[in-house]
């Protein structure tokens, strides 16, 4: 990847992380840990890869993204706002009673949201349906889905995986945000889904393992997925829960906890310092 492009993506993902903190701290609730861990993947998809137009969010030929781990709306909303789908300022209304920015994605209210999600496992199922519809309609759009690693404990995920392989949905790419933590602790302690890549391969998928914070690796994996024919692709992205905020990193306690005012200020300062060093 060109150094200038990579630098710009890093700046965008850092701004998205700042906006995640702003949204969650303004609401006093939300899910910062998994939103921060997936920020680089969202940045790459929305600012480098996907065929989308904020002025025409319902274009039938657009690429689609389904946030299957629907509780991580702070990450999705911050990305959509920075991409121009709605005002960044509106992120301060996140989860407020009169706001359209609800705690889970609502495709009827939020421009750029392709599927309402929240109940874990259903998002990837919807993504499979979208990809199948694209095949039936002979459309060229691609479908992306982002799952949490804890979400893999849902049986519906594997029903969807089986269907995607059965119908040869090579227009579908799923990312697993593999940060190793869920609300109750380590995924391996709660209900071990490992080995993740091997499981998907056994269901008939092409599987790629990457560092989910490395834009070169993200780009290479996405390009491989686009060129791989006959099977859906899963990109198992190793990430850090709470990435970019020192006191949140690798702690399950930040899965669904909002920072207090002083903590939010510290987080924003850390991210500003990182931006200054780019």
What's the pLDDT at 92?
98
The string of pLDDT tens digits covering residues 138-162 is: 999 999 999 999 999 999 999 999 9
pLDDT band at 239 (very low <50, low <70, confident <90, very high): very high
What are residue 237's DSSP bridge partners? 177, 210
pLDDT band, residue 35 (cuts 50/70/90):
very high
pLDDT for residue 44: 98
Mean pLDDT of the chain: 98
Q: DSSP of 35-53, one letter per residue? A: HHHTHHHHHHIIIII----
Burial of 256 (0-12, 13-18, 19+ CB in 10 A): middle
Six-digit token pair at 19?
A: 């906006």
Sequence ranges of the domains in the chain: 3-277
Q: What fold characterizes domain 3-277?
A: Rossmann fold (3.40.50)
To the nearest whole percent, how much of the chain has pLDDT over 70?
100
Nearest to 32 by CA among 90, 96, 103, 134: 103
Mean pLDDT of 214-232: 98
| pLDDT tens sequence across 77-135 | 999 999 999 999 999 999 999 999 999 999 999 999 999 999 999 999 999 999 999 99
Angle, alpha carbons 174-64-3 (nearest 5°): 75
């Amino acid at each position: 990847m060109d150094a200038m492009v990579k630098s710009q993506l890093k700046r965008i993902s850092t701004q998205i992380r700042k906006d995640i903190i702003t949204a969650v701290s303004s609401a006093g609730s939300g899910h910062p840990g998994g939103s921060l861990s997936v920020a680089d993947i969202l940045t790459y998809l929305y600012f480098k890869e996907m065929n989308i137009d904020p002025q025409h969010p319902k274009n039938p030929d657009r690429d689609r993204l389904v946030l299957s781990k629907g509780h991580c709306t702070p990450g999705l909303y911050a990305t959509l706002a920075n991409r121009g789908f709605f005002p960044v300022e509106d992120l301060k209304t996140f989860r407020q009673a009169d706001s359209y920015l609800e705690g889970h994605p609502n495709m009827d209210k939020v421009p750029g949201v392709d599927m309402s999600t929240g109940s874990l496992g259903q998002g990837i199922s919807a993504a499979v349906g979208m990809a199948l519809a694209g095949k039936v309609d002979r459309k060229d759009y691609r479908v992306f889905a982002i799952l949490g690693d804890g979400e893999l404990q849902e049986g519906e995920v594997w029903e969807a995986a089986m269907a995607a392989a059965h119908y040869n949905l090579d227009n579908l790419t799923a990312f697993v945000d593999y940060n190793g933590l869920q609300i109750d602790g380590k995924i391996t302690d709660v209900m071990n889904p490992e080995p993740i890549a091997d499981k998907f391969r056994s269901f008939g998928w092409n599987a790629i393992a990457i560092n989910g914070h490395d834009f070169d690796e993200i780009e290479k994996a996405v390009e491989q997925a686009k060129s791989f024919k006959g099977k859906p692709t899963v990109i198992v992205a190793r990430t850090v829960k709470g990435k970019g905020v020192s006191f949140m990193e690798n702690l399950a306690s930040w899965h669904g906890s909002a920072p207090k005012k002083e903590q939010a200020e510290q987080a924003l300062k850390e991210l500003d310092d990182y931006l200054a060093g780019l």
